[in-house]
Amino acid sequence: MRYVLLAVLAGSLWLGGCATSRDAKKFEERLIKLEKEVKTLRSEVLEAKGEISSAVGKVKALEENYRILLKELEKIKGKKRK
């Protein structure tokens, strides 16, 4: 991907008559920096996704416990009325 973008930029600069090896080097350095940022963000997203999945699992377990306790409470209330 990096080389495709670099080739596109180099081609467009060459056609414009502005392309130099220094321009290409600067562009490649910026591209490498962006790739590192993308990798970092991707790992952060995966980490957040795992945390969200964990939280969803905890919420589901709490909901199930709530339903069980609610049923138990209804049984207790039913016994008191009789």
pLDDT digits 0-9 by tens, 2-26: 566 666 666 655 555 555 777 788 8
Helices (H), 1-82: 2-16, 21-81
Strand, helix or coil for residue 82: coil
The Cα 36–Cα 28 span in angstroms is 12
pLDDT above 70 covers a percentage of the chain that reads 74
Boundaries of domain holding 54 = 2-81
The letter for the amino acid at 4 is V
Q: How many domains does the chain have?
A: 1
Tokens of 31: 């591209």
Strand, helix or coil for residue 17: coil
